[in-house]
Amino acid sequence: MLLLPTPRKSLYFLHPQTLCRQSQHNFRSLWLTRVCGKSDVPAAATSWTLVRMQIRRIRMPSTYFVLSVVFFLDMGVCTAVQSEMRITTIKQEPYAMSKGSQLEGFCMDLLSEIAKKLGFKFRVQLVKDASYGRQDESGNWNGMIGEEADLAIAPLTLTAAREKAVGMTKPFMQTGISILLRKDISEGIGFFDFLSPFAVETWVGILVAYLGTAACIWVVARLSPCEWSQPQSEQNRFSLLHSLWYTAGAFTLQGAGPHPKAPSGRVISCSWWLFTIVLLACYFSHLSSSKTPESTHLTVKGFEDLANQDTIEYGCLAGSSTLAFFKNSNNPVYRRIYEHMERTKSFVSSMDEGVRRAKEGNFAFIGESVSLDLAVARHCELVRAHEVVGMRGYSIAAALGSPIIKNLSVAILQLSEAGELAYLRSKWWASSCMADKAKSSAVQQHGLKGMFVVLSLGLGLGALLAVLELTAKSRRSAAEQKKSCCTVLTEELSLRLRTSNANKPQENVDKDKEKA
């Protein structure tokens, strides 16, 4: 157990630039004094009076030999310590991940930044038993705590038991304990869940289609002579309000008369009916699938809700600090959670297993909030509960009493103040849910893109037919009145689109005919 304190480690543990330089300087001063008769430091600065008194008691040749050997051995030891440090870690996304023959991740980037600041080289090795570190009944540690290494850098939680066994730096990341669930389990039934089958973009598109169809029916009903043959004496049946009402009635498959008589109006109506039938079929299909018995819709917002239900199973990582938190807690809710996990043996062996079981929908995974946030960023169907308890931090472990702990803590604080830790967090916790939006249960707007296109074509065709009908009538009228077709068409458009002339009295109509 090399991380636990030993005399050799406590002296030379990862402090080459301080301990080794001081040791080399002292031995060099003594060696030059006794062997060469010189000294590179003032006599008042040396503290070798007692050593000299002891050296006088032995023979001079032996003194020169011993000092020379000790000096050169010390130089070799310090050089070896400075050359390469052994670092142990555990493979876990995104802290340490394999990339070919190398490792990459948050902890690897953090280790590189710290090594630059403290000036040491390192060699990373994975922990043999793939464990963070747990103390057995006999007091021995496994995992990274008991690994033969100089440093342990990983999402290693700072706990009292580990602090007694090894030295821990200032936390480089704050975390807590929370719950990971599938979204349909963590979210209760809301007032507006009936809107859930369609996305917001789809509902906006439906609203625009409704208003556009009503406006087209109103315009076509005024332009088409088949629908409104005598604008001077007849009142148009399709006012703007009636067009909105007629379109809404067709949307609910109820209908609201009168119906259009002109071919142009009927083309628009048929296009709107087809659009609404397909839209309602998709809506009820997704609404019924979201209400199937497989989705429990159990509202779990915190640990008390989790402890008060027995519908879904829950568990945490075996042998983790999360399990120790619930085991040692005096909170009745936390004690119930621990007793349930212990009774049902619902522990998981790895983080990946906990995420996989949570995605299946019948399991709630209890873990550290930082790791759960990563799972939510990678799997869009998962969500983390808002409640976070047992705040703690991730730290770097070294030998107990090692002087390098202070320098490591200072380097971590410097990186935090410079924003480097926040940058690494945003780099390795980037969400990939943007690419998975198409897998969402809600129907996106592009899922009904074809029906929106069909409706647009129907509206355009209806408007074109109305213009052709009006043009045909204008040509006949122009031939009778011996006027140009464009003049008659302009007069027709002006008369039909001016609402003030829609109810012109018959007397004014007769006077206009006499003047003509």
Q: What is the pLDDT of residue 358?
A: 92
Separation CA 420–CA 407 (nearest Å): 17
Separation CA 495–CA 165 (nearest Å): 95
**Is the bond preceding 5 in cis, omega lying within 30 degrees of 0?**
no
Tokens of 206: 């439906």
Q: What is the pLDDT of residue 200?
A: 85
Helix axes 485-497, 449-481, angle to 10 degrees: 120
Query: Is residue 337 within 8 Å of residue 314, measured between CB atoms?
Result: yes
104 is in an annotated binding site: no
Going residue by residue through the chain, which has 516 residues, state the pLDDT in tens, using 9 for 90 and above: 445 444 333 323 334 444 444 444 444 444 444 444 444 444 433 443 434 444 444 444 454 454 444 444 444 444 444 458 899 999 888 899 988 888 999 999 999 999 999 999 999 999 988 888 888 888 889 888 988 889 999 988 888 888 899 999 999 999 999 999 988 765 555 677 778 788 888 889 999 999 999 999 988 888 888 887 777 777 777 888 888 998 998 888 877 778 888 888 889 999 999 999 999 888 888 777 665 444 444 578 889 988 998 888 999 998 888 898 999 999 999 999 999 999 999 999 888 899 999 998 889 999 989 989 989 988 888 999 889 998 989 999 999 888 899 999 999 999 999 999 999 998 998 876 654 444 444 555 556 788 889 999 999 998 899 888 888 888 887 777 777 778 777 777 777 777 544 444 444 444 444 444
Residue 32 DSSP one-character state: I
Tell me the three state secondary structure of residue 365.
strand
- Cβ within 8 Å of residue 99, ≥6 positions away: none
Query: Is residue 441 within 8 Å of residue 431, measured between CB atoms?
Result: no
167-168 and 389-398 strand pairing: antiparallel
Instruction: State which amino acid sits at residue 284.
Output: F
Tell me the three state secondary structure of residue 151.
strand
Q: What is the pLDDT of residue 507?
A: 43
Residue 235 DSSP one-character state: P
Separation CA 81–CA 77 (nearest Å): 6
List the alpha helices (DSSP H) in 252-331.
Answer: 263-290, 303-307, 321-328
* CA neighbor of 376 nearest in space, from 355, 351, 350, 346: 355
Residue 417 burial by Cβ neighbours in a 10 Å radius (0-12, 13-18, 19+):
exposed
Q: What is the pLDDT of residue 367?
A: 92
Q: What is the pLDDT of residue 54?
A: 45
499 is in an annotated binding site: no
Q: What is the pLDDT of residue 481?
A: 77
Q: What is the pLDDT of residue 447?
A: 64
Separation CA 147–CA 149 (nearest Å): 6
Separation CA 66–CA 24 (nearest Å): 15
pTM confidence score: 0.50
368 is in an annotated binding site: yes
Query: Is residue 22 within 8 Å of residue 403, measured between CB atoms?
Result: no
Tell me the three state secondary structure of residue 45.
helix
* CA neighbor of 31 nearest in space, from 82, 65, 79: 65
* CA neighbor of 132 nearest in space, from 89, 188, 77, 101: 89
pLDDT (tens digit per residue) in 95-144: 999 888 889 999 999 999 999 999 999 999 999 888 888 888 888 898 88
169 is in an annotated binding site: no
Q: What is the pLDDT of residue 28?
A: 46
* CA neighbor of 111 nearest in space, from 421, 426, 429: 421
Tokens of 48: 């070798």
SS3 track for 271-286: HHHHHHHHHHHHHHHH
Query: Is residue 133 within 8 Å of residue 144, measured between CB atoms?
Result: yes
pLDDT (tens digit per residue) in 480-500: 777 777 877 777 777 777 754
* CA neighbor of 275 nearest in space, from 263, 265, 287, 283: 283
CA atoms within 13 A on the CB side of 249: 13
The β-bridge partners of 368 are 177
Q: How many helices (H) and strands (E) does the chain have?
A: 20, 11
Tell me the three state secondary structure of residue 149.
coil
Q: What is the pLDDT of residue 113?
A: 94
Residue 216: CB atoms within 10 A of its CB come to 24
